[in-house]
Amino acid sequence: MLIRKIVNITSTIAGVLMIAAVSFNKLPWWSLLVLAFLWLFITAYGVANIRSGYFLKSLNNNPKFTEKKIAITFDDGPDPNTLKILEVLNTYNVKGTFFCIGKQIEKYPDILLRIIEENHIIGNHTFTHDKLIDIYSTDKFTKEIEDADTIIEKISGKKPLLFRPPYGITNPKIARAVKKTGHSVIGWNKRSFDTTIPSEKVILKRITKNLKGGDVILLHDTKIITVAVLEQLLLFLQSNNFTTVTIDELFSIQAYA
């Protein structure tokens, strides 16, 4: 957030000075274009990378964690495939953190309840997870978070305090919405790309490479391939003496109000 302020102030000052220089023919006009592209490039990087902390503070991993404990997170459920994920987690006695979508909860309330009954943690992942959600106004995005909270609370009696932005995208409107709702924003530092990569091996390699205590893995409980990846991951964790914790434990924060 501080970096963003520095970038914006520096760009504005540079822009004003350059306009003056261009008008006195001291600089070519296209130098302003270069500045505009540079600003756009940095801002786009901040939008697309939740870990950059460009617009808001998110918890992506806990480097202070010296023990070999990591957190596994699942996005976009509940979904019938979530049941297979829960089975694997049960077999290895592992607890995960599930960032659920409101409209999916409407469809599968029983699966949401089962996640909670099996002592996993639930977080908010907006109500619709719409493709265009990242261009919503602050008020519309705030409503997305509040509506998801409402349905989670209606079905489970729990009001989530953890929130993960869809696609890991952040911008000033989302930052303002989250400030209003007061949720802790949870990112990740091990992205699996299990929604796009078709190979179990490649996905597993991505998430296990240089894995260390305090890391947060992002998976999707909606994907069939993720069931097999999860099983391989849990075997890897076992043979490398890793254990797992839920997100609230990893960051010593509260999952519910």
Catalytic residue among 75, 79, 149, 221: 75
- Segment 66 to 105, residues that bind Zn ion, using CB under 5 A: 75-76
Closest CA to 94 of 111, 70, 114, 110: 70
Catalytic residue among 120, 129, 220, 248: 220
Q: Which CB sits closer to Zn ion, 75 or 149?
A: 75
Closest CA to 149 of 118, 125, 113, 176: 125
194 binds Zn ion (CB under 5 A): no
Rounded to an integer, what distance in angstroms lies between the CA atom of residue 8 and that of residue 150?
37
- Per-position x/- string for 159-178, each x denoting binding to Zn ion as judged by CB under 5 A, each - no binding: -------x------------
Shortest-Cβ-distance residue relative to Zn ion: 75
Q: Which CB sits closer to Zn ion, 206 or 212?
A: 206
Burial class (CB in 10 A: 0-12, 13-18, 19+), 91: exposed
Rg (alpha carbons) of the chain, rounded to whole number: 21
Q: Which CB sits closer to Zn ion, 166 or 187?
A: 166
Closest distance to Zn ion from the beta carbon of 66 (Å): 31
Going from the C-alpha of 179 to that of each of 46, 168, 174, 175, 184, the distances in angstroms are 18, 17, 8, 6, 9
Whether 220 is catalytic: yes
Whether 75 is catalytic: yes
Which residues form the interface with Zn ion (CB under 5 A)? 75-76, 166
Catalytic residues: 75, 220
